[in-house]
Amino acid sequence: DNPMVLLGGMNVLESRDLAMRIAEHYVDVTGRLGIPYVFKASFDKANRSSLHSYRGPGLEAGLKILQEIKQTFNVPVITDVHEPHQAAPAAEVCDIIQLPAFLSRQTDLVQAMAQTGAVINIKKAQFLAPQEMQHILHKCEEAGNHQLMLCERGTSFGYNNLVVDMLGFTIMKAFGYPVIFDATHALQMPGGRADSADGRRAMAAQLARAGLSQGIAGLFLEAHPDPNQAKCDGPCALPLSKLEAYLQQMKAVDDLIKSLPELDTGS
Amino acid sequence: DNPMVLLGGMNVLESRDLAMRIAEHYVDVTGRLGIPYVFKASFDKANRSSLHSYRGPGLEAGLKILQEIKQTFNVPVITDVHEPHQAAPAAEVCDIIQLPAFLSRQTDLVQAMAQTGAVINIKKAQFLAPQEMQHILHKCEEAGNHQLMLCERGTSFGYNNLVVDMLGFTIMKAFGYPVIFDATHALQMPGGRADSADGRRAMAAQLARAGLSQGIAGLFLEAHPDPNQAKCDGPCALPLSKLEAYLQQMKAVDDLIKSLPELDTGS
Amino acid sequence: DNPMVLLGGMNVLESRDLAMRIAEHYVDVTGRLGIPYVFKASFDKANRSSLHSYRGPGLEAGLKILQEIKQTFNVPVITDVHEPHQAAPAAEVCDIIQLPAFLSRQTDLVQAMAQTGAVINIKKAQFLAPQEMQHILHKCEEAGNHQLMLCERGTSFGYNNLVVDMLGFTIMKAFGYPVIFDATHALQMPGGRADSADGRRAMAAQLARAGLSQGIAGLFLEAHPDPNQAKCDGPCALPLSKLEAYLQQMKAVDDLIKSLPELDTGS
Amino acid sequence: DNPMVLLGGMNVLESRDLAMRIAEHYVDVTGRLGIPYVFKASFDKANRSSLHSYRGPGLEAGLKILQEIKQTFNVPVITDVHEPHQAAPAAEVCDIIQLPAFLSRQTDLVQAMAQTGAVINIKKAQFLAPQEMQHILHKCEEAGNHQLMLCERGTSFGYNNLVVDMLGFTIMKAFGYPVIFDATHALQMPGGRADSADGRRAMAAQLARAGLSQGIAGLFLEAHPDPNQAKCDGPCALPLSKLEAYLQQMKAVDDLIKSLPELDTGS
């Protein structure tokens, strides 16, 4: 029941300067609010809808930017990896490496990541029930890694829509690892635009509040100074200018929830 | 943004004495907590899975109990009706009459209810999208009734399961009427037992907190002194002994949420 | 494994003359093709999205048209009822009375219908699993009626969409009653238009073929001479001019499927 | 509208001898029935639920077995690849290489596969709408490969269940490439057993008939001499002894469907 942490940043790395600017803003805001903070950005978007979509700077250049952010702002960093060979280099720079949702059952990737010794953030696939996440935890544990976290980001609900099953948080918390909520990807409407996903940015605060009402370890969040110009997932991104007001709300919710006594209603 | 109201009580009326006892407990607790309160009970469960399931005392005997509760405790009461001819007699006793979820598109029932002039609590059907609720509101409005409220109780999610789409609250709030959350029926697993629905009573607080995090008008809730002996929907019922601790939590969440400034993240 | 029957006709009764014209066409075509035939039409659409939508001629005038069709063409007729009091008069005229999908769990309606002694066509609700249909069968049996049939018409799949789970036919056939497929309502996209459902008429043959591939008792079908002018569910209606070619296909599929030997793949 | 092809074989390669035995049986049966045939087996199951589950002989040993089957029986072969570096070696042996459903949006894998010049069998992800498959086709086309096929294998339907949306076949056929149906994986109940998926083998014929009723290019099928002893996905596998009777049925359905005239019901 520690106060919420924030894994926050941007979707895909665009320029080095933009990443620095975004990181600086997150560091300032979370510092003022006393929220433990990890900077997040992707070096590659490996599963865009279209070949013509922007993918990112790639592993080497991306890790260089993450390294600079880590050193400049003295914050831990997280990035996602997509193939087993990326796990070790990513873990050299990053404190947390992330298993993407669509890839969360790929055993070789899970093992390569677990063996780095880095903390692993396991995104829950859109096609998995909360109970099934224990299998992925077991894979990591058997590879010798117990520094694990689970991250909810929505479940397939018919076509082109996601729904967040709030009861899933309680089920996953029972596995004994921190559970966080990716409150911006969960806004996605997959395949909702002609050649990319759509999103419901206007409800970013509502959905995050619901997740935090479940007494979870923290939030995962992506923001952008101009979401309409973001190179990936802009329809889900929080406008960076709203970050402080947004996090104030979320911290207030988290603080309250964690002050409430446990209530056994099951017997 | 008024403080939350509670439409709370029991599923189906069992004995008159049990109803009085439950009502008294609700009245005590909500009085201490300053929560505006409406007593809820059904005189008939018109869609049980099995013919052998208990249905209730029926319209006449049920309204008599509701009338006694209303007078004894000086509280408004709500009950659900299932056929057009029940609307008028129910509205003579009850301050609010409720349109059941499965029946929410039956035009004659909607019109008969609307024409009573009572407040109408419209349960959202498990098969309807939030946007579609506006059609039912329009039917009521065109019958001359603008004292309407909408009530979320979960959406079909595969077989034998419900999920609550938290984004639906925001969509329904935009229609301009109070939106409440039936936090116990939303725990149902339809068809989950051999001849009735199962439920997830142990997560009653978690789900209610999520709903209240959306800034809604109130909660709908069913409790029972011994849920395992309840004659209907026990697997979803809050143990009555936990009511005060439960409502304290919910009121704290509601108070906080309604103190937060509006946050425009959509532009 | 008798050859398929057809419960076919139109959605809602419009004029008497149109109903006669449609019935005549069905009778001609099914006579030529040797398909046992029951005429279907609704006297009331009790759950339209909007108050302004056409509902039909009502019970009395509707039954009069059905009676005329029955006598003129010497065919059995089927209609759906929505309230218990309609069951007996409907059963005086109709050979089969139909329990609507949304109402399929309303015990009083089920009992009133079962007690008429008419054959009951039970539409499977969009929110029920195939296994749950046995509860409705039991209700009818306990009311003394064993002349029952089940009718698949699609299951809620996310918002505003239906999907037909082909495996459900085998599950329901195991209950021992005829199972038929409503191949046009299953094309619905609920809430898909501004004030009514949309549909996928262009795939009417494809979906029906899939249903018949399951070895079922028959088809339920709605057609209209001009679907774009139909007063209800036109987006799902088969153009009447295509009826003969459509039924030829369906009969060919049914005949083939029923000629195939049973294949036990489960052991 | 060519007669159906069969991509059939076994789930994961177990011993070389078992693979030879299974291939021989398929070759015999399809030869007798005149069904164009491609042998399918996986060298690696890269996404098993548990680390302790059998994965297969690996790339090199697996391709050796596939090569022997190809030469011994003079049949084309297909296998699935999981990482970009596997595409080229797999395509040296295999006539068709398969993009796994969970990986179907991984751009690097799609490109590496497309660039081999082999035919690509694209499995439709459980989380994608039929319309979205065009994006994956475009990725292959832009990499210079137009020898593509799409393969339906079911869509997430709530938790631990799949449903096959029959209307998806027509939508995907409109993209202009062959569409086939994986009639055994579509029987899966993901996460349905303690540490693996469950399946509905007893309904193998029913589901396949439904798929073939849509006028598709062919079937994808996995069988095993003793499904209860199969090292992966036994609950979905057709008993090999039933193969001939099963394919006779399927060919009869396919032949009939393709003899039927096109029927325009949409105008």
pLDDT digits (tens, 9 = 90+) for B185-211: 999 999 998 888 999 999 999 999 999
Q: Which helix (H) or strand (E) holds B5?
A: strand B5-12
The span from the CA of D256 to the CA of D249, in Å, is 11
Mean of the per-residue pLDDT values for chain A?
A: 97
Alpha-carbon span D61 to D220, nearest angstrom: 23
B43 touches chain A (CB under 8 A): no
The four Cα atoms D104, D108, D111, D117 give a dihedral, to 10 degrees, of -90
Q: Does A192 touch chain C (CB under 8 A)?
A: no
Residue A87 distance to chain B (closest CA, Å) = 35
The answer to whether C142 contacts B51, with C-beta atoms less than 8 Å apart, is yes
Mean pLDDT on D20-37: 98
Please name which of A16, A11, A21 lies closest in space to residue A220, comparing C-alpha atoms.
Answer: A11
Contact yes or no for A42/A3 (Cβ under 8 A): no
Determine the pLDDT at residue D251.
98
Q: What is the pLDDT of residues D122-133, one digit of tens each?
A: 999 999 999 999
Could you tell me which of A170, A128, A176, A109 has the C-alpha nearest to residue A148?
A176
Judge whether residue D194 has pLDDT over 90: no
Nearest CA-CA distance, residue B196 and chain D, Å: 20
Cross-chain residue pair D239–C267, CB shorter than 8 Å: yes
| D31 Cα to chain C: minimum distance (Å) | 21
The DSSP H or E segment spanning A79 is: strand A77-80
Classify D65 in phi/psi space as left (phi over 0), alpha (psi -120 to 50) or beta.
Answer: alpha
Which amino acid appears at position C233 of this protein?
A: D
Report residue A236's pLDDT band, with 50, 70 and 90 as the boundaries.
very high
Query: Is the confidence at residue A195, as pLDDT, over 90?
Result: no
DSSP letter, residue A125: P
Q: What percent of chain A has pLDDT over 90?
A: 96
> Which of the residues D44, D80, D198, D233 is marked catalytic?
D233
User: What confidence tier does B72 reach under pLDDT thresholds 50, 70, 90?
Assistant: very high
Average pLDDT value over all residues in chain D: 97
Q: How many CB atoms lie within 10 A of CB B39?
A: 26
Rounded CA Rg of chain D: 17
- pLDDT per residue over B27-49, tens digit each? 999 999 999 999 999 999 999 98
Residues C159, A161: C-beta atoms closer than 8 Å: yes
Average pLDDT of each block of 10 consecutive residues along chain C (267 residues)? 96 98 98 98 94 94 98 98 97 98 96 97 98 97 97 98 98 98 97 91 98 98 97 96 98 98 93
**Position A123, amino acid:** K
Residues of C with Cβ-Cβ distance to A157 under 8 angstroms: 158-159
> Quick one: what percent of chain D has pLDDT higher than 70?
100
| Residue of B83, B122, B157 to mutate, testing the C interface (most C Cβ within 10 Å of its Cβ) | B83
Does the CB of B131 have a partner CB in chain C at under 8 Å?
yes
Task: Tell me: pLDDT of A207 over 90.
Answer: yes
Please state, as a whole number, how many other Cβ atoms lie within 10 Å of the Cβ of residue B147. 15
Burial of residue A57, with CB atoms counted within 10 A of its CB: 0-12 exposed, 13-18 middle, 19 or more buried: buried
Residues in A closer than 8 angstroms to B203, CB to CB, are 167, 170, 265
How many other CB atoms sit within 10 Å of the CB of residue A228?
11
B161 touches chain D (CB under 8 A): yes
Please name the residues in contact with D139: beta carbons below 8 A apart, sequence gap of 6 or more. A50, A51, D107, D110, D111, D114
Asked if C127 lies within 8 A of B129 by C-beta distance, the reply is: no
Check if C233 is active-site. Answer: yes
Q: Are D81 and D227 in contact (CB under 8 A)?
A: no
- For chain C, state the CA radius of gyration: 17
* Mean pLDDT of the region A244-258: 98
Contact B215, B1 (CB under 8 A): yes
- Please say if D11 is a catalytic residue: yes
* Contact A127/D at CB under 8 A: yes
Chain A CB within 8 Å of residue B194 CB: no
pLDDT given at position B150? 98
Q: Alpha carbon B254 to chain centroid distance?
A: 17
Q: Is A167 on the interface with B (CB under 8 A)?
A: yes
Model pLDDT for residues B116-147, shown as the tens digit of each residue = 999 999 999 999 999 999 999 999 999 999 99
* pLDDT, position B195: 86
For residues C59 and C64, what is the distance between their CA atoms, to the nearest angstrom?
Answer: 9
Max CA pair span of chain A? 56
3-state secondary structure of D157: coil
- Spell out the SS3 assignment of D215-242: CCCEEEEEEECCHHHCCCCHHHCEEHHH
Q: Interface partners of D (3+ CB pairs, < 8 Å)?
A: A, B, C
Give yes or no for D261 touching B (CB within 8 A): no
Q: Is B129 on the interface with A (CB under 8 A)?
A: no
With a CB cutoff of 8 Å and minimum separation 6, the contacts of C62 are: C13, C41, C42, C43, C44, C56, C79
Per-residue pLDDT, D267: 81
Choose among B103, D135, B24, D3: nearest CA to A193.
D135
Q: Is C2 in the active site?
A: no
Q: Which residues pair with B80 in a beta bridge?
A: B98
Q: Using one digit for the tens of pLDDT, what is the confidence trace for C46-67?
A: 999 888 899 999 999 999 999 9
Contacts of D45 (CB under 8 A, 6+ apart): D11, D12, D53, D54, D55, D56, D232
- Nearest Cα of chain D lies from the Cα of B157 at a distance, in angstroms, of 5
pLDDT at A143: 95
Q: Report the pLDDT value the prediction gives residue B1, as an integer from 0 to 100.
A: 82
Rounded CA-CA distance C116/C78 in Å is 14
Residues on chain B touching D157 (C-beta within 8 angstroms): 158-159
Q: Do C127 and B128 touch (CB under 8 A)?
A: no
- Say if residue D168's pLDDT is above 90: yes
Q: Which of A80, A182, A198, A233 is catalytic?
A: A233
Q: Which of C155, C156, C159, C162 is the best mutation test for A, with the most CBs of A within 10 A?
A: C159
Question: What is the length of chain A?
Answer: 267
Q: pLDDT digits over D2-20, tens only?
A: 999 999 999 999 999 999 9
How many angstroms separate the CA atoms of B197 and D193, rounded? 23
Q: Mind listing the pLDDT tens digit for each residue in D53-66?
A: 999 999 999 999 99
CB atoms within 10 A of CB C241: 14
